[in-house]
């Protein structure tokens, strides 16, 4: 994997629940990391791999900012083992119902990635979910110390994000004012139900995918982590 003046990237294998996942680990080339960051990407049927533009921008931008960052492919994507046994059937069900039972396996994949990152890096942990990844991350928040949580393009209409209600880690929610999956008004109403400390950043005309707005997205996350990642917070 590439190594430039700022960061190194290497492919890694993550031992999951009876399957091995493919991941990419990025870290500063010549400085000590101050935190470790897990990125859970969007739905595998909607561009959910570690080549996604938002995932790549965060991976590289946060690694350049002295973080060890892990992104991964869910089971059945790229070189990750497993995945649904009948892709045509689950794809049909997804477009009909918006969900299918095998998605729970990708929650377990996120748990495996968190465990691997904790083994590889003993720095304070930050968890970032993007779109579908917001749900998989929200299911991990009761598993130990988390320094901060970032939710990008969450859709509380589609996914149960109640795990966020029970955490005490500082929370950043980033949303677009023209996200077609969840309107700005709907996101704001949901955000009001969450406990402090929290911050909401609304990016104009980012849609759901933030193409062309990746630098603004990375800047918002970087500024939030710089402000809120001084002391570890225990999520009950």
Q: SS3 string of 178-208?
A: CCCCCCHHHHHHHHCCCCCCEEEEEECCCCC
State residue 230's pLDDT score: 53
| pLDDT tens digit sequence for 31-90 | 888 999 999 999 999 989 999 999 999 999 999 998 999 999 999 999 999 999 999 999
Q: What pLDDT score was predicted for residue 3? A: 53
Q: CA–CA separation, 52 vs 12, rounded Å? A: 18
Tally Cβ neighbours within 10 Å of residue 136.
25
Give the Cα separation of 131 and 136 in Å (integer): 10
The widest CA-to-CA distance across the chain, in whole angstroms, is 49
Q: In 10 A of CB 125, how many CB atoms?
A: 24
Query: Rounded to 10 degrees, what is the CA torsion of 97, 101, 104, 105?
Result: -120
- Please name every residue paired with 15 in a beta bridge, in sequence order, or none if there are none: 20
pTM above 0.85, yes or no: yes
pLDDT mean across residues, the chain:
91
- Asked if the model's pLDDT at residue 150 lies above 80, the reply is yes
Give the pLDDT confidence score for residue 71 in this predicted structure: 98
Please write the tens of the pLDDT for every residue from 189-230: 999 999 999 999 999 888 999 999 999 999 999 999 998 875
Give pLDDT, residue 60: 96
Whether pLDDT at 169 is above 80 = yes
| Tens-digit pLDDT profile for residues 80-120 | 999 999 999 999 999 999 999 999 999 999 999 999 999 99
Domain boundaries, the chain: 7-235
Domain covering 7-235, topology: Rossmann fold (3.40.50)
Q: What is the per-residue pLDDT for 2?
A: 54
Confirm if 40 and 48 have CB atoms less than 8 A apart.
Answer: no
Return all residues near 30 (Cβ < 8 A) that are at least 6 apart. Answer: none
Q: What is d(CA 137, CA 43) in angstroms, rounded to the nearest whole number?
A: 13
Measured distance CA(110)–CA(199) in Å, rounded? 24
pLDDT-derived band at 142 (thresholds 50, 70, 90) equals confident
Per-residue pLDDT band at 232 (split at 50, 70, 90): very low
Q: What tokens were used for 142?
A: 């009761």
pLDDT band at 6 (very low <50, low <70, confident <90, very high): confident
Assess whether pLDDT exceeds 60 at residue 159: yes
């Amino acid at each position: 994997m590439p190594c430039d003046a700022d960061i190194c990237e290497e492919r890694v294998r993550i031992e999951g629940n009876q399957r091995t996942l493919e991941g990419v680990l990025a870290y500063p080339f010549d400085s000590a990391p101050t935190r470790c960051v897990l990125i859970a990407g969007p739905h595998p049927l909607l561009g959910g791999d570690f080549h996604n533009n938002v995932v790549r921008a965060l991976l590289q931008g946060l690694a350049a900012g002295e973080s060890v960052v892990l992104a991964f492919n869910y089971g059945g994507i790229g070189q990750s083992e497993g995945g649904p046994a009948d892709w045509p059937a689950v794809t049909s069900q997804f477009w009909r119902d918006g969900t299918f039972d095998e998605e729970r396996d990708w929650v377990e994949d996120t748990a495996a990635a968190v465990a691997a990152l904790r083994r590889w890096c003993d720095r304070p942990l930050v968890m970032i979910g993007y779109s579908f990844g917001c749900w998989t991350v929200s299911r991990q928040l009761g598993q130990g110390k988390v320094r901060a949580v970032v939710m990008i393009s969450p859709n509380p209409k589609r996914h149960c994000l109640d795990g966020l209600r029970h955490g005490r880690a500082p929370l950043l929610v980033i949303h677009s004012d023209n996200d077609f999956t969840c309107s700005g008004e709907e996101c704001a109403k949901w955000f009001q139900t969450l406990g402090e400390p929290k911050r909401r950043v609304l990016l104009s005309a980012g849609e759901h995918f933030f193409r062309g707005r990746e630098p603004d997205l990375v800047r918002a996350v970087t500024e939030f982590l710089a402000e809120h990642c001084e002391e570890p917070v225990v999520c009950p």
